């Protein structure tokens, strides 16, 4: 009798364990455990550089800029990508206006493209960007964020990565603030010799990016130079010339670069359905 009772007890234990296990799996399904996270919608942002053509100095902070609400375009498509397009941005100060038509590329979901067009303002000269005036030149430069070796990071494949060592999607801020000089090229007629030879340009921004569970990650910045072409006309003599400015930071494409933490490939790219990890990391600025 004792033997029979013993086996009955074992059977009851297994039955309870099976019910508990089934309940656990059902609970996970309801909470959407291990589901792929959705990337942010694609976005294009603009950092116009408005230049006083008489002095060559930036007056961006003191002018009125119109043409794009919030100076950004965000995808509204279901796949969160953004089609290529163009916008016209206008700057006005003291009754003087200048405009530039800016073409932007198709952007994939999760990516941000930051464009830094240049607008000239002058009482004596009219700067008109020519059609297709921004032409990419040279190879883009790739740089990574400032992940610093230490707690919470991983040294892998010759780079230092931040890590997300849990079952939650996490988010982080990627910021960039690039400044450089745009140099004039091309011939200038004698009547238009006062066109600035060198101007200061800036491309800056800050965006929140997402990465999956059990991953090592960093912000990846791809910097593409471009030649900007303008037709310049004297408002006094009517004389016209064409000039180019080489902008070394014209476009910055920002994306989260991520890969599985070695040994956690099975969990990489997923996240708990309750949302972002409350212990999300801090910002990652463009490395110097």
- Whether 159 shows a pLDDT value over 70: the answer reads yes
> Which pLDDT band holds residue 116 (cuts at 50, 70, 90)?
very high
Mean pLDDT score, 103-122: 96
Q: How do residues 172-196 score in pLDDT, each as one tens digit?
A: 999 999 999 999 986 555 556 678 9
Radius of gyration, CA atoms only, the chain: 27
DSSP 149-180: SSTTEEEETTEEEEEE-SSSBEEEEEEEEEEE
* pTM across the whole model: 0.80
b/e sequence 161-180, b meaning 16+ C-beta within 10 Å: bbbbeebbbbbbbbbbebeb
Separation of alpha carbons 272 and 36, rounded Å = 9
Separation of alpha carbons 110 and 255, rounded Å = 7
Torsion over CA: 102, 105, 108, 111 (sign): negative
Indicate the helix (H) or strand (E) that contains 31.
none
Mean pLDDT score across all residues of the chain = 81
Indicate the helix (H) or strand (E) that contains 22.
helix 2-30
What pLDDT is attached to residue 36? 58
What pLDDT is attached to residue 46? 97
- Whether 20 shows a pLDDT value over 80: the answer reads no
What pLDDT is attached to residue 193? 64
Which range, of 12-26, 38-52, 84-98, 160-174, averages the lowest pLDDT? 12-26
SS3 5: helix
Mean pLDDT score, 59-88: 96
Mean pLDDT score, 63-68: 95
Residues 141, 146, 151, 156, Cα dihedral to 10°: 10
């Amino acid at each position: 009798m004792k033997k029979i009772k013993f086996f009955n007890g074992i059977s009851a234990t297994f039955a309870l364990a099976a019910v508990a296990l089934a309940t656990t799996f059902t609970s996970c399904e309801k909470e959407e455990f291990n589901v792929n996270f959705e990337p942010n919608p694609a976005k294009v942002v603009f950092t116009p550089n408005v230049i006083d053509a008489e002095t060559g100095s930036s007056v961006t902070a003191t002018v009125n800029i119109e043409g794009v609400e919030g100076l950004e375009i965000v995808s509204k498509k279901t796949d969160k990508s953004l089609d290529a397009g163009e916008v016209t941005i206008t700057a006005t100060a003291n009754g003087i206006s200048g405009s530039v038509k800016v073409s932007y590329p198709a952007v994939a979901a999760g990516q941000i493209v930051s464009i830094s067009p240049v607008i000239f303002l002058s009482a004596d000269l009219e700067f008109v960007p020519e059609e297709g005036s921004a032409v990419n030149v040279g190879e883009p430069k790739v740089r990574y964020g400032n992940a610093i070796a230490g707690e919470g990071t991983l040294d892998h494949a010759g780079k230092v990565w931040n890590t997300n060592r849990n079952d939650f999607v996490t988010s982080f801020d990627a910021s960039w603030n690039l400044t450089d000089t745009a140099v004039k090229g091309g011939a200038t007629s004698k009547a238009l010799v006062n066109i600035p030879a060198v101007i200061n340009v800036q491309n800056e921004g800050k965006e929140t990016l997402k990465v999956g569970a059990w991953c090592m990650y960093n912000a990846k910045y791809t910097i593409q130079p471009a030649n900007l072409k303008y037709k310049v006309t004297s408002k006094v003599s009517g004389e016209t010339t064409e000039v180019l400015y080489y902008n070394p930071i014209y476009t910055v494409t920002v994306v989260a670069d991520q890969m599985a933490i070695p040994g956690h490939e099975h969990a990489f790219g997923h996240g708990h359905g309750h949302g972002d990890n409350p212990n999300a990391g801090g910002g990652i600025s463009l490395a110097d």
